[in-house]
Amino acid sequence: MRRTPGILALLILCGLALGACVPRPTVSSAPRSATSKVTSTTAGDANVKTIYLAGGCFWGLEKYVGLVQGVSSTEVGYANGRSDNAKYGDGSGYAEVVKIEYDPAVAPLPFLLGLYYDAIDPTSVNRQGNDVGDEYRTGIYYTDPADEAVIRESIAELQKGYSAPIAIEVGPLVRYSAGEDYHQDYLDKNPNGYCHIPKKLFDAAKAARPE
Give the model confidence (pLDDT) of 141-200 as tens digits.
Answer: 999 999 999 999 999 999 999 999 999 999 999 999 999 999 999 999 999 999 999 999
Query: Does residue 57 carry a catalytic annotation?
Result: yes
- Given a cut of 60, whether residue 29 has pLDDT beyond it is no
Amino acid 10: pLDDT: 39
Rounded (to 5) percent helix, strand, coil in the chain: 30, 20, 50
Domains of the chain: 42-205 (3.30.1060.10)
Q: Which amino acid is at 202?
A: F
With beta carbons less than 8 A apart as the criterion, state whether 140 and 169 touch: yes
With beta carbons less than 8 A apart as the criterion, state whether 119 and 64 touch: yes
Q: Which residue has the higher pLDDT, 211 or 3?
A: 211
pTM value? 0.83
Mode of pairing for the β-strands spanning 138-142 and 169-172:
parallel
Beta strands in the chain (DSSP E): 49-55, 71-79, 95-102, 127-128, 131-132, 138-142, 169-172, 176-178
Candidate list 14, 21, 57, 195, residue with the active-site label: 57
Q: How many angstroms separate the CA atoms of 1 and 62, rounded?
A: 44
Q: Each residue of 36-95: pLDDT tens digit?
A: 444 444 444 678 999 999 999 999 999 999 999 999 999 999 999 999 999 999 999 999
Question: Which residue, among 64, 60, 65, 63, has the nearest Cα to 50 in the 3D structure?
Answer: 65
